[in-house]
Structure 1
Protein backbone atom coordinates (compact mmCIF):
# COMPACT_ATOMS: atom_id res chain seq x y z
CA UNK A 1 0.00 0.00 0.00
CA UNK A 2 1.47 3.33 -1.05
CA UNK A 3 0.68 6.59 -2.77
CA UNK A 4 0.01 6.28 -6.50
CA UNK A 5 2.06 9.37 -7.33
CA UNK A 6 3.82 12.34 -5.75
CA UNK A 7 4.37 15.85 -7.10
CA UNK A 8 6.73 18.31 -5.43
CA UNK A 9 4.91 21.55 -4.57
CA UNK A 10 6.42 25.08 -4.50
CA UNK A 11 6.13 25.34 -0.72
CA UNK A 12 9.50 26.14 0.78
CA UNK A 13 10.05 24.94 4.32
CA UNK A 14 13.44 24.45 5.93
CA UNK A 15 12.59 21.16 7.61
CA UNK A 16 9.94 19.57 5.37
CA UNK A 17 9.28 18.53 1.78
CA UNK A 18 5.75 19.34 0.56
CA UNK A 19 4.14 17.12 -2.07
CA UNK A 20 0.72 16.66 -3.59
CA UNK A 21 -0.01 12.96 -3.52
CA UNK A 22 -2.54 10.82 -5.34
CA UNK A 23 -3.81 7.58 -3.84
CA UNK A 24 -6.46 5.07 -4.86
CA UNK A 25 -9.68 4.85 -2.85
CA UNK A 26 -12.69 2.86 -4.11
CA UNK A 27 -11.06 2.90 -7.59
CA UNK A 28 -10.93 6.71 -7.51
CA UNK A 29 -7.79 8.84 -7.67
CA UNK A 30 -7.95 11.02 -4.57
CA UNK A 31 -5.51 13.84 -3.87
CA UNK A 32 -4.00 15.17 -0.68
CA UNK A 33 -1.14 17.32 0.58
CA UNK A 34 1.79 15.76 2.39
CA UNK A 35 4.54 17.46 4.43
CA UNK A 36 7.36 15.04 5.22
CA UNK A 37 10.19 16.03 7.57
CA UNK A 38 13.84 15.64 6.57
CA UNK A 39 14.45 14.08 9.98
CA UNK A 40 12.97 10.81 11.27
CA UNK A 41 9.18 10.77 11.51
CA UNK A 42 8.18 10.57 15.17
CA UNK A 43 4.60 11.85 14.91
CA UNK A 44 1.88 11.89 12.25
CA UNK A 45 -0.77 14.59 12.22
CA UNK A 46 -3.72 14.28 9.85
CA UNK A 47 -5.59 17.53 9.21
CA UNK A 48 -9.20 17.20 8.08
CA UNK A 49 -10.30 20.37 6.34
CA UNK A 50 -13.67 22.06 6.59
CA UNK A 51 -16.05 23.18 3.86
CA UNK A 52 -16.52 21.55 0.47
CA UNK A 53 -15.08 22.12 -2.97
CA UNK A 54 -13.08 25.34 -3.09
CA UNK A 55 -14.50 26.51 0.24
CA UNK A 56 -12.17 25.59 3.09
CA UNK A 57 -9.57 24.02 0.82
CA UNK A 58 -6.34 22.65 2.27
CA UNK A 59 -3.71 25.35 2.87
CA UNK A 60 -0.02 24.66 3.59
CA UNK A 61 0.11 27.50 6.12
CA UNK A 62 -2.62 25.84 8.17
CA UNK A 63 -0.94 22.43 8.02
CA UNK A 64 2.37 23.94 9.10
CA UNK A 65 0.84 25.03 12.40
CA UNK A 66 0.74 21.41 13.56
CA UNK A 67 4.26 20.33 12.69
CA UNK A 68 7.63 20.25 14.34
CA UNK A 69 10.93 18.96 12.91
CA UNK A 70 9.87 15.32 13.38
CA UNK A 71 6.17 15.60 12.47
CA UNK A 72 4.67 14.42 9.20
CA UNK A 73 1.47 16.28 8.31
CA UNK A 74 -1.09 14.98 5.83
CA UNK A 75 -4.38 16.48 4.62
CA UNK A 76 -6.76 14.70 2.23
CA UNK A 77 -8.67 16.92 -0.19
CA UNK A 78 -11.69 14.52 -0.24
CA UNK A 79 -13.17 13.05 -3.41
CA UNK A 80 -14.75 15.50 -5.82
CA UNK A 81 -12.56 18.36 -4.56
CA UNK A 82 -9.44 20.04 -5.95
CA UNK A 83 -8.76 17.53 -8.69
CA UNK A 84 -9.83 14.39 -6.83
CA UNK A 85 -12.08 12.06 -8.77
CA UNK A 86 -15.60 11.13 -7.64
CA UNK A 87 -18.28 13.11 -5.83
CA UNK A 88 -18.26 14.41 -2.28
CA UNK A 89 -20.91 12.68 -0.16
CA UNK A 90 -20.38 14.79 2.98
CA UNK A 91 -19.36 12.17 5.54
CA UNK A 92 -20.47 9.27 3.38
CA UNK A 93 -18.12 7.24 1.17
CA UNK A 94 -15.61 10.10 1.36
CA UNK A 95 -14.75 8.86 4.86
CA UNK A 96 -12.74 6.19 3.04
CA UNK A 97 -10.50 8.97 1.71
CA UNK A 98 -9.47 9.64 5.30
CA UNK A 99 -9.13 6.01 6.34
CA UNK A 100 -7.12 4.83 3.33
CA UNK A 101 -4.77 7.82 3.47
CA UNK A 102 -4.03 7.18 7.14
CA UNK A 103 -3.57 3.45 6.60
CA UNK A 104 -0.98 4.17 3.90
CA UNK A 105 0.95 6.30 6.37
CA UNK A 106 0.61 3.75 9.17
CA UNK A 107 2.00 1.02 6.93
CA UNK A 108 4.89 3.23 5.86
CA UNK A 109 5.58 4.43 9.42
CA UNK A 110 4.55 1.59 11.76
CA UNK A 111 4.30 2.25 15.50
CA UNK A 112 4.29 6.03 14.99
CA UNK A 113 1.55 7.89 16.93
CA UNK A 114 -1.21 9.36 14.77
CA UNK A 115 -3.22 12.41 15.83
CA UNK A 116 -6.20 13.63 13.82
CA UNK A 117 -7.31 17.26 13.81
CA UNK A 118 -10.79 17.97 12.42
CA UNK A 119 -11.80 21.56 11.70
CA UNK A 120 -15.41 22.63 11.01
CA UNK A 121 -16.90 20.01 8.64
CA UNK A 122 -13.73 18.02 9.23
CA UNK A 123 -14.87 17.67 12.84
CA UNK A 124 -17.50 15.08 12.04
CA UNK A 125 -15.23 13.44 9.43
CA UNK A 126 -12.76 12.81 12.24
CA UNK A 127 -15.33 11.64 14.77
CA UNK A 128 -16.49 9.04 12.26
CA UNK A 129 -13.00 7.75 11.45
CA UNK A 130 -10.58 8.25 14.35
CA UNK A 131 -11.52 4.98 16.04
CA UNK A 132 -11.33 2.97 12.83
CA UNK A 133 -7.70 4.00 12.28
CA UNK A 134 -6.87 3.67 16.00
CA UNK A 135 -5.67 7.24 16.37
CA UNK A 136 -3.60 8.17 19.41
CA UNK A 137 -5.89 11.15 19.95
CA UNK A 138 -8.44 13.31 18.20
CA UNK A 139 -8.60 17.11 18.30
CA UNK A 140 -11.87 18.67 17.12
CA UNK A 141 -11.58 22.42 16.49
CA UNK A 142 -14.75 24.41 15.81
CA UNK A 143 -16.11 21.11 14.60
CA UNK A 144 -19.51 19.81 13.55
CA UNK A 145 -20.55 16.95 15.83
CA UNK A 146 -24.13 16.29 14.71
CA UNK A 147 -25.57 16.78 11.21
CA UNK A 148 -29.14 16.97 12.51
CA UNK A 149 -28.13 19.85 14.76
CA UNK A 150 -26.37 21.45 11.81
CA UNK A 151 -29.53 21.15 9.72
CA UNK A 152 -31.59 22.84 12.44
CA UNK A 153 -29.10 25.61 13.24
CA UNK A 154 -27.79 26.52 9.78
CA UNK A 155 -30.84 27.34 7.70
CA UNK A 156 -28.52 28.61 4.96
CA UNK A 157 -26.98 25.13 4.61
CA UNK A 158 -30.18 23.13 4.43
CA UNK A 159 -30.21 23.14 0.64
CA UNK A 160 -26.69 21.73 0.50
CA UNK A 161 -27.49 19.06 3.09
CA UNK A 162 -30.65 18.03 1.20
CA UNK A 163 -28.60 17.63 -1.99
CA UNK A 164 -25.69 15.77 -0.43
CA UNK A 165 -27.32 13.80 2.38
CA UNK A 166 -31.09 14.12 2.03
CA UNK A 167 -34.01 15.42 4.06
CA UNK A 168 -33.74 14.52 7.78
CA UNK A 169 -37.22 12.97 7.79
CA UNK A 170 -37.29 11.37 4.34
CA UNK A 171 -33.68 10.11 4.46
CA UNK A 172 -33.33 9.69 8.22
CA UNK A 173 -31.20 6.56 7.79
CA UNK A 174 -28.55 8.66 5.98
CA UNK A 175 -28.30 10.98 8.97
CA UNK A 176 -28.23 8.04 11.35
CA UNK A 177 -25.39 6.51 9.30
CA UNK A 178 -23.51 9.76 9.95
CA UNK A 179 -24.25 9.71 13.70
CA UNK A 180 -20.74 10.25 15.00
CA UNK A 181 -21.40 9.73 18.69
CA UNK A 182 -23.18 6.39 18.91
CA UNK A 183 -19.98 4.30 18.81
CA UNK A 184 -17.83 6.47 21.07
CA UNK A 185 -17.37 4.88 24.50
CA UNK A 186 -14.93 4.60 27.39
CA UNK A 187 -12.55 2.52 25.27
CA UNK A 188 -12.28 5.23 22.60
CA UNK A 189 -9.08 7.29 22.20
CA UNK A 190 -9.01 10.64 24.03
CA UNK A 191 -10.57 13.75 22.52
CA UNK A 192 -9.62 17.42 22.84
CA UNK A 193 -12.48 19.86 22.09
CA UNK A 194 -11.53 23.37 20.92
CA UNK A 195 -14.26 25.95 20.30
CA UNK A 196 -14.93 29.68 20.44
CA UNK A 197 -18.12 30.86 22.11
CA UNK A 198 -18.75 33.44 19.35
CA UNK A 199 -18.51 30.92 16.53
CA UNK A 200 -21.25 31.75 14.01
CA UNK A 201 -20.42 28.97 11.53
CA UNK A 202 -20.53 26.11 14.03
CA UNK A 203 -22.35 26.99 17.24
CA UNK A 204 -20.56 26.09 20.48
CA UNK A 205 -23.62 23.98 21.32
CA UNK A 206 -22.02 21.39 19.04
CA UNK A 207 -19.06 21.20 21.41
CA UNK A 208 -21.28 21.03 24.48
CA UNK A 209 -23.28 18.24 22.81
CA UNK A 210 -20.10 16.23 22.27
CA UNK A 211 -18.80 16.92 25.76
CA UNK A 212 -22.06 15.73 27.32
CA UNK A 213 -21.77 12.44 25.46
CA UNK A 214 -18.11 11.97 26.41
CA UNK A 215 -18.86 12.69 30.05
CA UNK A 216 -21.82 10.31 30.09
CA UNK A 217 -19.76 7.47 28.59
CA UNK A 218 -16.59 8.06 30.63
CA UNK A 219 -14.45 8.93 27.62
CA UNK A 220 -11.17 10.68 28.35
CA UNK A 221 -11.38 14.26 27.08
CA UNK A 222 -10.34 17.84 27.67
CA UNK A 223 -11.73 21.18 26.48
CA UNK A 224 -10.44 24.56 25.35
CA UNK A 225 -13.38 26.96 25.25
CA UNK A 226 -12.31 30.45 24.25
CA UNK A 227 -14.49 33.42 25.17
CA UNK A 228 -14.90 36.05 22.47
CA UNK A 229 -13.44 33.87 19.68
CA UNK A 230 -15.23 32.99 16.46
CA UNK A 231 -14.82 30.18 13.94
CA UNK A 232 -11.28 31.37 13.21
CA UNK A 233 -9.38 32.54 16.29
CA UNK A 234 -7.53 35.83 16.43
CA UNK A 235 -3.75 35.42 15.91
CA UNK A 236 -2.60 35.70 19.52
CA UNK A 237 -5.30 33.37 20.81
CA UNK A 238 -4.64 30.94 17.96
CA UNK A 239 -0.95 30.87 18.87
CA UNK A 240 -1.77 30.05 22.50
CA UNK A 241 -4.23 27.35 21.42
CA UNK A 242 -1.68 25.72 19.14
CA UNK A 243 0.76 25.45 22.07
CA UNK A 244 -1.97 23.71 24.09
CA UNK A 245 -2.68 21.32 21.20
CA UNK A 246 1.00 20.37 20.89
CA UNK A 247 1.13 19.81 24.66
CA UNK A 248 -1.99 17.63 24.40
CA UNK A 249 -0.38 15.45 21.75
CA UNK A 250 2.76 15.10 23.90
CA UNK A 251 0.64 14.10 26.88
CA UNK A 252 -1.29 11.45 24.93
CA UNK A 253 1.91 9.95 23.53
CA UNK A 254 3.58 9.82 26.93
CA UNK A 255 0.60 7.91 28.29
CA UNK A 256 0.99 5.29 25.55
CA UNK A 257 4.75 5.02 24.87
Structure 2
Protein backbone atom coordinates (compact mmCIF):
# COMPACT_ATOMS: atom_id res chain seq x y z
CA UNK A 1 0.00 0.00 0.00
CA UNK A 2 2.83 2.38 0.85
CA UNK A 3 4.47 1.61 -2.53
CA UNK A 4 1.17 2.31 -4.30
CA UNK A 5 0.90 5.74 -2.65
CA UNK A 6 4.41 6.66 -3.72
CA UNK A 7 3.68 5.70 -7.33
CA UNK A 8 0.45 7.73 -7.36
CA UNK A 9 2.23 10.72 -5.87
CA UNK A 10 5.00 10.51 -8.46
CA UNK A 11 2.52 10.39 -11.33
CA UNK A 12 0.66 13.35 -9.87
CA UNK A 13 3.83 15.41 -9.63
CA UNK A 14 4.77 14.49 -13.22
CA UNK A 15 1.35 15.59 -14.45
CA UNK A 16 1.61 18.93 -12.68
CA UNK A 17 5.13 19.42 -14.05
CA UNK A 18 4.01 18.81 -17.64
CA UNK A 19 0.94 21.04 -17.43
CA UNK A 20 2.81 24.03 -16.04
CA UNK A 21 5.70 24.14 -18.53
CA UNK A 22 6.48 27.61 -19.88
CA UNK A 23 5.35 27.81 -23.55
CA UNK A 24 7.99 28.45 -26.24
CA UNK A 25 7.53 32.18 -26.79
CA UNK A 26 9.51 32.12 -30.03
CA UNK A 27 7.18 29.50 -31.54
CA UNK A 28 4.15 31.45 -30.35
CA UNK A 29 5.50 34.63 -31.95
CA UNK A 30 6.16 32.85 -35.26
CA UNK A 31 2.68 31.33 -35.25
CA UNK A 32 1.10 34.76 -34.76
CA UNK A 33 3.19 36.24 -37.57
CA UNK A 34 2.22 33.46 -39.96
CA UNK A 35 -1.45 34.21 -39.35
CA UNK A 36 -0.93 37.86 -40.34
CA UNK A 37 0.04 39.69 -43.52
CA UNK A 38 3.57 41.00 -43.45
CA UNK A 39 5.37 43.62 -45.54
CA UNK A 40 9.14 43.88 -45.34
CA UNK A 41 10.83 46.84 -47.05
CA UNK A 42 14.30 47.19 -48.56
CA UNK A 43 15.63 43.83 -47.47
CA UNK A 44 19.28 43.48 -48.47
CA UNK A 45 19.91 40.28 -50.42
CA UNK A 46 23.37 41.00 -51.83
CA UNK A 47 26.41 43.24 -51.54
CA UNK A 48 25.56 45.80 -54.24
CA UNK A 49 23.67 49.03 -53.61
CA UNK A 50 20.68 47.98 -55.70
CA UNK A 51 20.48 44.49 -54.16
CA UNK A 52 17.33 45.27 -52.18
CA UNK A 53 13.77 44.01 -52.32
CA UNK A 54 10.35 44.42 -50.76
CA UNK A 55 8.73 41.20 -49.55
CA UNK A 56 4.98 40.68 -49.22
CA UNK A 57 3.85 37.70 -47.14
CA UNK A 58 0.14 36.75 -47.07
CA UNK A 59 -1.71 35.70 -43.97
CA UNK A 60 -1.99 31.97 -43.41
CA UNK A 61 0.94 31.21 -45.71
CA UNK A 62 2.44 27.74 -45.90
CA UNK A 63 5.41 26.18 -47.73
CA UNK A 64 2.98 25.43 -50.58
CA UNK A 65 1.94 29.06 -51.07
CA UNK A 66 2.98 30.52 -54.44
CA UNK A 67 5.99 32.83 -54.04
CA UNK A 68 6.72 35.20 -56.92
CA UNK A 69 10.02 36.95 -57.70
CA UNK A 70 9.05 40.08 -59.66
CA UNK A 71 11.55 41.96 -61.83
CA UNK A 72 10.81 45.54 -62.92
CA UNK A 73 11.39 46.86 -66.44
CA UNK A 74 13.45 49.81 -67.65
CA UNK A 75 15.60 48.69 -70.60
CA UNK A 76 18.06 46.95 -68.21
CA UNK A 77 19.46 50.37 -67.26
CA UNK A 78 16.76 52.11 -65.23
CA UNK A 79 13.47 51.53 -63.39
CA UNK A 80 12.67 50.62 -59.80
CA UNK A 81 10.71 48.10 -57.75
CA UNK A 82 8.32 50.86 -56.70
CA UNK A 83 6.90 50.74 -60.23
CA UNK A 84 5.34 47.35 -59.40
CA UNK A 85 4.13 48.11 -55.90
CA UNK A 86 0.47 48.04 -56.94
CA UNK A 87 0.89 44.64 -58.58
CA UNK A 88 2.56 43.28 -55.46
CA UNK A 89 -0.28 44.52 -53.25
CA UNK A 90 -2.86 42.93 -55.53
CA UNK A 91 -1.13 39.55 -55.51
CA UNK A 92 -0.79 39.77 -51.72
CA UNK A 93 -4.57 40.24 -51.53
CA UNK A 94 -4.89 37.01 -53.52
CA UNK A 95 -2.82 35.03 -51.02
CA UNK A 96 0.39 35.07 -53.09
CA UNK A 97 3.80 35.93 -51.61
CA UNK A 98 5.92 38.38 -53.61
CA UNK A 99 9.54 39.48 -53.62
CA UNK A 100 9.54 42.73 -55.60
CA UNK A 101 13.18 43.40 -56.36
CA UNK A 102 15.77 45.90 -57.51
CA UNK A 103 18.89 44.64 -59.24
CA UNK A 104 22.05 46.03 -60.78
CA UNK A 105 21.74 48.10 -63.93
CA UNK A 106 23.57 46.87 -67.01
CA UNK A 107 26.48 49.01 -68.19
CA UNK A 108 29.20 49.06 -70.85
CA UNK A 109 31.97 47.69 -68.66
CA UNK A 110 31.37 45.05 -66.01
CA UNK A 111 27.65 44.46 -65.62
CA UNK A 112 25.81 42.54 -68.31
CA UNK A 113 23.13 39.84 -68.37
CA UNK A 114 25.28 37.35 -66.46
CA UNK A 115 25.59 39.73 -63.52
CA UNK A 116 21.86 40.49 -63.57
CA UNK A 117 21.13 36.76 -63.43
CA UNK A 118 23.50 36.42 -60.48
CA UNK A 119 21.42 39.03 -58.65
CA UNK A 120 18.22 37.08 -59.30
CA UNK A 121 19.92 33.91 -58.11
CA UNK A 122 20.92 35.62 -54.87
CA UNK A 123 17.29 36.63 -54.37
CA UNK A 124 16.17 32.99 -54.69
CA UNK A 125 18.89 31.87 -52.28
CA UNK A 126 17.93 34.52 -49.72
CA UNK A 127 14.24 33.63 -49.92
CA UNK A 128 15.12 29.97 -49.45
CA UNK A 129 17.23 30.80 -46.38
CA UNK A 130 14.25 32.56 -44.76
CA UNK A 131 11.70 29.82 -45.48
CA UNK A 132 11.52 28.43 -41.94
CA UNK A 133 11.30 31.86 -40.36
CA UNK A 134 8.57 33.02 -42.75
CA UNK A 135 6.86 29.63 -43.19
CA UNK A 136 7.28 29.91 -46.96
CA UNK A 137 8.62 27.62 -49.66
CA UNK A 138 12.37 27.08 -49.97
CA UNK A 139 12.30 25.98 -53.60
CA UNK A 140 9.98 26.21 -56.58
CA UNK A 141 9.57 29.97 -56.75
CA UNK A 142 7.71 31.62 -59.64
CA UNK A 143 9.05 34.58 -61.60
CA UNK A 144 7.64 37.52 -63.55
CA UNK A 145 8.72 40.74 -65.16
CA UNK A 146 7.72 43.46 -67.56
CA UNK A 147 9.67 44.50 -70.66
CA UNK A 148 13.39 44.02 -69.88
CA UNK A 149 12.32 42.43 -66.60
CA UNK A 150 10.39 39.85 -68.62
CA UNK A 151 13.52 39.14 -70.66
CA UNK A 152 15.61 38.67 -67.50
CA UNK A 153 12.91 36.43 -65.98
CA UNK A 154 12.93 34.16 -69.01
CA UNK A 155 16.72 33.97 -69.26
CA UNK A 156 17.06 33.21 -65.54
CA UNK A 157 14.57 30.38 -65.73
CA UNK A 158 15.72 28.91 -69.03
CA UNK A 159 19.48 29.07 -68.37
CA UNK A 160 20.12 29.25 -64.62
CA UNK A 161 17.31 27.86 -62.46
CA UNK A 162 15.19 25.04 -63.84
CA UNK A 163 13.37 24.70 -60.50
CA UNK A 164 11.24 27.78 -61.17
CA UNK A 165 7.62 26.59 -61.18
CA UNK A 166 5.93 29.22 -63.34
CA UNK A 167 6.84 32.22 -65.51
CA UNK A 168 4.83 35.30 -66.41
CA UNK A 169 6.39 37.59 -68.99
CA UNK A 170 4.80 40.88 -69.98
CA UNK A 171 5.79 42.75 -73.16
CA UNK A 172 9.25 41.22 -73.17
CA UNK A 173 11.78 40.99 -76.02
CA UNK A 174 12.60 37.33 -76.63
CA UNK A 175 14.55 37.08 -79.90
CA UNK A 176 17.47 39.32 -80.83
CA UNK A 177 18.34 37.14 -83.82
CA UNK A 178 15.22 38.20 -85.70
CA UNK A 179 16.36 40.63 -88.41
CA UNK A 180 13.07 42.55 -88.41
CA UNK A 181 13.46 43.07 -84.66
CA UNK A 182 17.05 44.29 -85.03
CA UNK A 183 16.00 46.74 -87.72
CA UNK A 184 13.39 48.07 -85.32
CA UNK A 185 15.99 48.31 -82.54
CA UNK A 186 18.24 50.29 -84.85
CA UNK A 187 15.46 52.67 -85.91
CA UNK A 188 14.50 53.23 -82.26
CA UNK A 189 18.14 53.91 -81.29
CA UNK A 190 18.07 51.09 -78.74
CA UNK A 191 21.31 49.33 -79.65
CA UNK A 192 23.04 51.14 -76.79
CA UNK A 193 21.00 49.45 -74.07
CA UNK A 194 20.88 46.13 -75.94
CA UNK A 195 24.67 46.07 -76.10
CA UNK A 196 24.99 46.97 -72.42
CA UNK A 197 22.78 44.02 -71.51
CA UNK A 198 24.34 41.52 -73.90
CA UNK A 199 27.93 42.71 -73.72
CA UNK A 200 28.05 42.92 -77.52
CA UNK A 201 30.97 44.90 -79.01
CA UNK A 202 30.15 44.38 -82.69
CA UNK A 203 28.32 47.02 -84.71
CA UNK A 204 25.42 45.37 -86.54
CA UNK A 205 24.11 46.57 -89.89
CA UNK A 206 21.39 45.04 -92.04
CA UNK A 207 22.86 42.13 -93.99
CA UNK A 208 25.55 41.41 -91.37
CA UNK A 209 25.76 38.17 -89.43
CA UNK A 210 23.91 38.23 -86.12
CA UNK A 211 26.35 38.96 -83.27
CA UNK A 212 26.93 35.95 -81.04
CA UNK A 213 26.05 37.99 -77.96
CA UNK A 214 22.54 38.57 -79.32
CA UNK A 215 21.99 34.85 -79.86
CA UNK A 216 23.26 33.99 -76.39
CA UNK A 217 20.87 36.47 -74.75
CA UNK A 218 17.73 35.52 -76.71
CA UNK A 219 15.32 33.57 -74.44
CA UNK A 220 13.62 31.89 -77.40
CA UNK A 221 16.84 29.93 -78.02
CA UNK A 222 16.62 28.27 -74.60
CA UNK A 223 12.91 27.56 -74.13
CA UNK A 224 11.99 24.67 -71.85
CA UNK A 225 8.75 23.17 -70.55
CA UNK A 226 8.21 25.36 -67.49
CA UNK A 227 4.63 26.76 -67.64
CA UNK A 228 4.83 30.22 -69.20
CA UNK A 229 2.24 32.96 -69.51
CA UNK A 230 2.78 35.65 -72.17
CA UNK A 231 0.95 38.97 -71.80
CA UNK A 232 1.33 41.57 -74.55
CA UNK A 233 -0.52 44.57 -75.92
CA UNK A 234 -1.25 44.43 -79.63
CA UNK A 235 -0.31 48.12 -79.99
CA UNK A 236 3.03 47.86 -78.20
CA UNK A 237 5.21 50.61 -79.63
CA UNK A 238 8.46 49.49 -77.95
CA UNK A 239 8.45 45.67 -78.16
CA UNK A 240 6.30 44.64 -81.15
CA UNK A 241 3.74 41.92 -80.45
CA UNK A 242 5.55 39.77 -83.01
CA UNK A 243 7.95 38.92 -80.17
CA UNK A 244 5.07 37.36 -78.23
CA UNK A 245 4.14 35.21 -81.21
CA UNK A 246 7.76 34.08 -81.63
CA UNK A 247 7.82 32.87 -78.03
CA UNK A 248 4.40 31.28 -78.35
CA UNK A 249 5.55 29.22 -81.34
CA UNK A 250 8.69 28.10 -79.50
CA UNK A 251 6.69 27.03 -76.44
CA UNK A 252 4.22 25.18 -78.62
CA UNK A 253 7.04 23.32 -80.37
CA UNK A 254 8.53 22.38 -76.99
CA UNK A 255 5.19 21.02 -75.75
CA UNK A 256 5.12 23.42 -72.81
CA UNK A 257 2.03 24.58 -70.95
CA UNK A 258 1.56 28.18 -71.97
CA UNK A 259 -1.05 30.87 -72.33
CA UNK A 260 -0.94 33.96 -74.53
CA UNK A 261 -3.01 36.91 -73.32
CA UNK A 262 -3.29 39.66 -75.93
CA UNK A 263 -4.59 42.94 -74.51
CA UNK A 264 -6.42 44.73 -77.36
CA UNK A 265 -5.32 48.33 -77.93
CA UNK A 266 -2.70 48.27 -75.17
CA UNK A 267 0.74 49.76 -75.70
CA UNK A 268 4.00 48.98 -73.93
CA UNK A 269 2.64 50.43 -70.69
CA UNK A 270 0.17 47.59 -70.64
CA UNK A 271 -1.56 48.49 -67.36
CA UNK A 272 -2.18 52.15 -68.25
CA UNK A 273 -5.98 51.76 -68.42
CA UNK A 274 -7.82 50.40 -65.34
CA UNK A 275 -9.57 47.68 -67.34
CA UNK A 276 -6.27 46.52 -68.84
CA UNK A 277 -4.63 46.54 -65.43
CA UNK A 278 -7.40 44.31 -64.13
CA UNK A 279 -6.94 41.92 -67.05
CA UNK A 280 -3.21 41.66 -66.40
CA UNK A 281 -3.48 41.31 -62.63
CA UNK A 282 -6.25 38.70 -62.63
CA UNK A 283 -4.55 36.57 -65.28
CA UNK A 284 -1.31 36.65 -63.32
CA UNK A 285 -3.03 35.57 -60.11
CA UNK A 286 -4.83 32.73 -61.87
CA UNK A 287 -1.61 31.45 -63.43
CA UNK A 288 0.26 31.53 -60.13
CA UNK A 289 -2.53 29.75 -58.28
CA UNK A 290 -2.58 27.07 -60.97
CA UNK A 291 1.15 26.48 -61.45
CA UNK A 292 2.97 28.21 -58.59
CA UNK A 293 1.58 26.21 -55.67
CA UNK A 294 2.34 22.77 -54.20
TM-score (norm 1): 0.79
Q: Partner residue of 2:119? A: 97
1:128 to 147, 155, 167: 155
Q: Partner residue of 1:176? A: 215
Cα offset for 1:53?
A: 7.0
Distance 2:59 2:280 in 1: 26
Give the number of the structure with larger relative contact order, counting CA–CA contacts within 8 Å between residues 6 or more apart: 2
Distance 1:170 1:16 in 2: 51
Q: Mind listing any 5+ residue stretches in structure 2 that lack a counterpart?
A: 1-35, 132-136
Cα RMSD of the aligned pairs, angstroms, is 2.7
More helix as a share of residues: 2
Contact 2:141/2:292, CA 8 A, preserved across alignment: no
Q: Partner residue of 1:72? A: 97
- What does 1:1-257 align with in structure 2 at a 5 Å threshold? 15-24=37-46, 28=48, 30-37=50-57, 39-41=59-61, 42-52=65-75, 55-59=78-82, 60-68=85-93, 70-80=95-105, 88-89=111-112, 91-109=113-131, 110-111=137-138, 113-131=140-158, 132-133=160-161, 134-149=163-178, 150-154=181-185, 155=187, 156-164=189-197, 165-166=199-200, 167=202, 168=204, 172-185=211-224, 188-232=225-269, 233=271, 234-253=273-292, 257=294
Q: Mind listing any 5+ residue stretches in structure 1 that lack a counterpart?
A: 1-13
Distance 2:282 2:58 in 1: 23
**Can you list the C-alpha shifts for 1:165-214, whole angstroms capped at 9, x where unaligned?**
323568822222213122323xx210001001001011101100100111
Paired residues, number: 233
Contact 1:195/1:224, CA 8 A, preserved across alignment: yes
Cα offset for 1:22?
A: 2.0
Cα offset for 1:113?
A: 4.6
Bigger Rg over Cα: 2
Distance 2:75 2:42 in 1: 18
Cα offset for 1:159?
A: 2.8
